[in-house]
């Protein structure tokens, strides 16, 4: 069990990011469904797990981060802003603008806090595996954290990367899978079934951890118990999540894959998320 104060701090941090996502979604179009589903895990990654130096984003001793589900760029940017990579207001100002640092997918040419440009699905994970191989060669103590979506596991390249990570014993590679059960068109199990999802990864020789991807306690616990960097087995944390999590009219609704919210929905969504936090922690936000 993680310390209660830590859980509360990270849940508050996640709420802050969700509210900011909704503000951005009120301003323009973002991938709100997948942003919300991965937000709790993303918050824990950036505000708890990842070893990083905001002053020196290319510090060799940092943990690497690759957003394989590149469309979750907004939640990543807000998570990075929370540790001081940028001012939150910069994201509202620059998002999807000409030569802005922030867009619907992550871009390393525009943004030094992005290691790998992503957006096309199935790319980031094998690139992360290559980075993990490189760090292993260098004897580095850094990890490579990679966030994948479940839908992108339809791409064969994910499984090529999974085989590579197993073959080259990349215990420094930690993949978080946002198993929200939806791809662009609808439920994964309806369109192209992924189950037994955990079984597939086990069969590929990975260390598999299955958690509720919205249970901050479990997320922290998983991070605390990650195998040593020098271990031989790559790890995948499969977080069972809900697309559009925490907003009643978005949750598990494929039509909220991407879009913008009108003012009425915006207020309603923020009120719901805030109320849920207050109900649990009994404190004013």
Which has the closest alpha carbon to 130: 77, 68, 86? 68
- Nearest approach, Cβ of 167 to other proteins (angstroms)? 8
- Nearest approach, Cβ of 56 to other proteins (angstroms)? 16
Strand partners, 148: 177
- Nearest approach, Cβ of 166 to other proteins (angstroms)? 11
Nearer to other proteins, 154 or 260 (CB): 154
Nearer to other proteins, 36 or 135 (CB): 135
Nearer to other proteins, 157 or 274 (CB): 157
- Nearest approach, Cβ of 72 to other proteins (angstroms)? 17
Q: Is the peptide bond before 212 cis (omega within 30 degrees of 0)?
A: no
Q: Using CB under 8 A as the criterion, which residues of the chain lie in contact with other proteins when the complex forms?
A: 108-109, 115-117, 119-120, 122-123, 126-135, 137-138, 156-157, 160-161, 163-164, 167-168
Token pair recorded at residue 107: 């871009």
194 HSE (CA, 13 A, CB side): 24
- Nearest approach, Cβ of 163 to other proteins (angstroms)? 7
- What CA–CA distances, in Å, run from 221 to 62, 64, 147, 175, 244? 21, 20, 18, 15, 24
- Nearest approach, Cβ of 124 to other proteins (angstroms)? 8
Nearer to other proteins, 126 or 213 (CB): 126
- Nearest approach, Cβ of 207 to other proteins (angstroms)? 20
Nearer to other proteins, 146 or 194 (CB): 146
Helix or strand run (H / E) with residue 157: helix 156-167
Nearer to other proteins, 17 or 106 (CB): 106
- What CA–CA distances, in Å, run from 231 to 131, 166, 207? 16, 11, 11
Helix or strand run (H / E) with residue 67: strand 64-67
Nearer to other proteins, 37 or 117 (CB): 117
- What CA–CA distances, in Å, run from 28 to 22, 89, 93, 131, 200? 10, 14, 11, 33, 37
SS (H, E, C) 209-267: EEEECCCHHHHHHHHHCCCCCCCCCCEEEEEECCCCCCCCCCCCCHHHCCECCCHHHHH
């Amino acid at each position: 069990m993680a310390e209660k104060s830590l859980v509360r701090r990270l849940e508050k941090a996640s709420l802050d990011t969700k509210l900011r996502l909704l503000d951005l979604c009120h301003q323009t179009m973002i991938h709100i469904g997948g942003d919300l589903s991965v937000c709790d895990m993303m918050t824990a990654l950036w505000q708890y797990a990842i070893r990083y130096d905001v002053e020196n984003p290319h510090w060799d001793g940092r943990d690497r981060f690759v957003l394989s589900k590149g469309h979750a760029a907004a939640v990543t940017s807000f998570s990075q802003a929370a540790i001081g990579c940028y001012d939150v207001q910069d994201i509202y100002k620059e998002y999807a603008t000409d030569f802005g640092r922030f867009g619907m997918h992550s871009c390393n040419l525009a943004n030094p806090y992005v290691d790998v440009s992503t957006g096309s699905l199935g790319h980031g994970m094998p690139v992360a595996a290559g980075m993990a191989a490189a760090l292993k060669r260098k004897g580095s103590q850094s990890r490579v954290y990679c966030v994948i979506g479940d839908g992108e596991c339809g791409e064969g390249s994910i499984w090529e990367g999974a085989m590579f990570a197993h073959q080259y014993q990349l215990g420094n590679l930690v993949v978080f899978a946002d198993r929200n059960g939806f791809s662009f068109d609808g439920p994964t199990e309806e369109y192209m079934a992924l189950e037994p999802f955990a079984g597939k990864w086990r069969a590929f020789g990975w260390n598999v951890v299955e958690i509720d991807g919205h249970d901050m306690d479990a997320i922290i616990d998983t991070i605390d118990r990650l195998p040593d960097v020098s271990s031989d087995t790559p790890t995948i944390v499969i977080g069972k999540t809900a697309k559009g999590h925490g907003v009643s009219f978005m949750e598990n609704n494929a039509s909220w894959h991407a879009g913008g919210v009108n003012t009425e929905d915006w207020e309603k969504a923020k009120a719901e998320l805030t109320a849920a936090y207050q109900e649990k922690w009994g404190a004013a936000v």
